[in-house]
Amino acid sequence: MLTTLGVVLPVFGLILLGYLCRRGDVLGAASMTELNRFVVWVALPALLFDIMAHTRWSTLWQPGFVLAFWLGSLLVFGAMVALRRALGRPLADASLDGLNAAYPNSGYMGFPLCLVALGPESLPLVTIGTILTVCVAFAQGIICIEIGLQEERHPGRLAAKVYRALARNPLLVAPLLGAMASGLGVALPAPAETFLKLLGAAASPCALVALGVFLAQQGMVRGRDLNATLLLSCGKLVVMPALVWLLAVALRLPAATTHAAVLLAALPTGTGPFMLAEYYRREARITSATILVTTVLSVLTVSLYLAWAV
């Protein structure tokens, strides 16, 4: 449990810092919006480009791991979107709910936790899991949100509008450009490398501080929103890792690969859904509460899994 706590505490500390800065009026009422805008338009695109530009295609060839982790995430995302739609949520908001239940904090927490618990040989798998989360799962969520926001119902015109919206989205354009750079073997100059890494490193901390500011302004959820938060938290911390484990066992993956996939799936919800909620100006109370609740509860759930499996 101490291992998990050591990884979770900095995440919770950054959220608390944003909360206290807003409560103490160190950060103003507009700070959350401006911080999130910086993350979405500047820092996160730099991080996504940097990840893809430095990922060789051969590194990604782990078909069993990719299938177990990505399919588990996709099934949870799809099931949660369908459930929330059945309960009357608009598609854009239901898509955010789906991401809340299927978007682990693999980039910020996966690397240190897997390094300590599973050793350095697990880090290539963490890299793949991070790419599947911040690029593939992110793209799935963005596409569904864009479809939900369009008023056009004619299939052809709807597809054209969604395509134009996606082509202008920095969170999709950046990783595609990075993948092209990697495929073409483009080597960036050292100053450009440093520039990207400095910007990318700011993405998660700024998003977590912005989340704390939001919580200070809005407060915690109650009633139906609380029920939704608990549902999404259960999907993230219980359903997704259990499903990934079942898929890994069915695919007969090696024990080390299975543990890496399940551990990544068991991580709390990352800041990606919160960034999208703010970017698309959707109500973010459930999203922010889910990130906070899963972060706190993951100390117990992840520790239990490590005690059982490792």
Rounded to the nearest 5 percent, the helix, strand and coil shares of the chain are 85, 0, 15
In a domain, 310, yes or no: no
What's the rounded Cα separation, in Å, for the pair 40 and 171? Answer: 7
Q: What is the pLDDT of residues 5-57, one digit of tens each?
A: 676 778 778 888 988 998 888 888 888 888 888 887 888 788 878 877 887 77
Report the range out of 20-24, 168-172, 211-215, 221-225 with the highest average pLDDT.
Answer: 20-24
In a domain, 191, yes or no: yes
Q: What angle do CA 26, 29, 30 make, to 5 degrees?
A: 105
In a domain, 78, yes or no: yes
What's the rounded Cα separation, in Å, for the pair 137 and 144? Answer: 11
Q: What angle do CA 232, 265, 168 make, to 5 degrees?
A: 75
Domain that holds residue 231: 2-305
What's the rounded Cα separation, in Å, for the pair 177 and 145? Answer: 22
Q: Which 8-state DSSP code applies to residue 201? A: H
What's the rounded Cα separation, in Å, for the pair 292 and 271? Answer: 10
Whether 99 and 265 have beta carbons less than 8 Å apart is answered as no
89-98, 128-137, 229-238: the lowest-pLDDT one = 128-137
What's the rounded Cα separation, in Å, for the pair 248 and 61? Answer: 16
What's the rounded Cα separation, in Å, for the pair 110 and 104? Answer: 9
**CATH code, 19:** 1.20.1530.20
Domain count, the chain: 1
Query: Residue 106's closest CA among 73, 64, 58?
Result: 73
Query: Residue 94's closest CA among 297, 239, 298, 235?
Result: 235
Q: What is the pLDDT of residue 155?
A: 62
Q: What is the pLDDT of residue 251?
A: 94
| Average pLDDT of span 74-78 | 96
Q: What is the pLDDT of residue 165?
A: 65
